[in-house]
């Protein structure tokens, strides 16, 4: 996908007015290609611990 198509797909996805199938059809690709190229996460999701902030596993031996 070109950067222009990725931008178009991202804007369509963010608008929440189109299904993934409609976005894919308008870009001439499969829905899986859309999923691989756009961000589907949102800022509203709770953050989870990452490797740098998570407590170490195991204990002293």
Per-residue pLDDT tens for 14-47? 999 999 999 999 999 999 999 999 999 865 545 5
In the prediction, which pLDDT does 25 show? Answer: 98
Question: Structure pTM?
Answer: 0.66
- 9 exposure class (CB count in 10 Å sphere: 0-12, 13-18, 19+): buried
Q: What pLDDT does 20 receive?
A: 96
* pLDDT on residue 36: 96
């Amino acid at each position: 996908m070109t950067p222009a198509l990725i931008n178009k797909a991202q804007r369509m996805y963010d608008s929440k007015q189109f299904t993934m199938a409609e976005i894919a059809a308008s870009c001439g690709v499969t829905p899986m290609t859309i999923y691989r190229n756009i961000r589907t996460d949102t800022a509203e999701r709770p953050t989870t611990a990452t490797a740098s902030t998570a407590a170490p596993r195991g204990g002293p031996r």
